[in-house]
Amino acid sequence: MEPTPVIQVENLRKAYGSKVAVEDVSLTVARGEIVGILGPNGAGKTTTVECLAGLRAPDSGRVRVLGMDPQADKARVKEVLGMQLQESELPAKITVREAMDLYASFYADPADPAELLADLGLTDRAGAKFDQLSGGQKQRLSVALALVGNPQIAVLDELTTGLDPQARRDTWGLIERIRERGVTVLLVTHFMEEAERLCDRVVLIDSGRVIATGTPAEVAEAASGGQHLRFRASAPVPTEDLEALPTVTSAHGPDPAGEYDVRGAGTVVQDVLVALASRGVAADTVRVEGGTLDDAFVTLTTHDRAGDPPGASAPSATAPAATTTSATTPSEV
Ligand SMILES: Nc1ncnc2c1ncn2[C@@H]1O[C@H](COP(=O)(O)OP(=O)(O)OP(=O)(O)O)[C@@H](O)[C@H]1O
């Protein structure tokens, strides 16, 4: 029997007045997973996690955290779910130690603040005021505050936004350590590299709807239509001839480096190489890759938002493929 998911969201809908922030979101998170919620600005990511934390009441749909309704069981959900604070929520003059002690006092069974600060490399800064901390230190403090209640679930929203590459990498190490403590992590992020590196699964949200779920590799592959082929050709090849092949979804090139870039599914690699050979063209330095999550993000979410109904113009060729990777009930695209 499948273990009960730590987080269950079914057909969540939430509007602010006439603005529908979340149209229809369903997702599940199992114990010990790191799941990424990805999507462009305004997609409804923060609203979704705020409904999970009990900070906002859904208009409809079902939200459960360890089987509890965050609206009906606010206090108990607060004990098990640690939500990273936005930095503006802390007063400038509070010290790191004071903030930790204050937040620890909210919980029945808090973690040891000093131990947590040591874990997050903040012991030296315990006496520093919040406005004296660097961006990376503020982020680490916000993570420490999310963990001080000893939560089973940590919800981290835009954890590494504004950090330099080194601080971002340090923070990734930190998330891995959080998982090693047995904490389930829900990570809201704009960074595909971050999701690829950390997440067991991702949920791609656009215009308030789930448009793809799966492992980062599955979502990337589904969105790229399967495979991504790059090669140099011994003679010029009209890309429209390659696009005429049934397994090819797109063909571009040659780029300034002389490379062609062809995407497609199924037997696309063979089909392209046979088509080239039949013209007496040899392919050189052939590389076959799955797509990246970055490609998936752009392919699945790029559309003219002005006046577009939610999810309306996600490319139809990729949308059905994306939903085949779904580990949850995918919303209609
Ligand atoms: N309190 C609010 N009142 C009115 N509209 C809101 C409110 N909060 C969010 N919205 C709108 O709802 C939509 C979804 O916002 P939300 O913050 O959930 O998206 P997001 O995916 O987290 O975006 P971002 O990546 O920019 O943080 C946006 O259009 C936003 O402007």
> What is the interface pTM, i.e. ipTM, of the complex?
0.97
CA 46 to ligand 1 centroid distance, Å: 7
pLDDT by residue (tens digit) across 64-101? 999 999 999 999 998 899 988 665 578 899 999 999 99
Q: What is the pLDDT of residue 310?
A: 37
Q: Closest residue (by CA) to atom 12 of ligand 1?
A: 21
Q: Is the pLDDT of residue 319 over 50?
A: no
Q: What is the pLDDT of residue 160?
A: 76
Q: Closest residue (by CA) to atom 25 of ligand 1?
A: 41
Q: Is the pLDDT of residue 128 over 80?
A: yes
Residue 254, preceding peptide bond in cis (omega within 30° of 0): yes
Averaged over 306-322, what is the pLDDT?
35
Averaged over 269-276, what is the pLDDT?
88
- Rounded Cα distance between 293 and 95, Å, is 39
Q: Closest residue (by CA) to atom 7 of ligand 1?
A: 16
Of 54, 27, 49, nearest to 204 by C-alpha is 27
List pocket residues of ligand 1, CB cut-off 6 Å: 16, 19, 21, 39, 41-47
- Atom number in ligand 1 closest to CA 205: 21
Q: In terms of C-beta distances under 8 Å and separation of at least 24 residues, what long-range contacts does 169-174 make, across chains too? A: 170/121, 170/136, 171/136, 171/139, 171/140, 171/143, 172/197, 172/198, 174/120, 174/140, 174/143
pLDDT by residue (tens digit) across 38-70? 988 889 999 999 999 999 999 999 999 999 999
- Rounded Cα distance between 171 and 173, Å, is 5
Alpha helices in the chain (DSSP H): 45-52, 74-80, 96-104, 113-119, 135-147, 165-180, 192-198, 216-223, 239-243, 268-278, 293-301, 319-323
Alpha helices in 200-238 (DSSP H): 216-223
Q: What is the pLDDT of residue 333?
A: 22
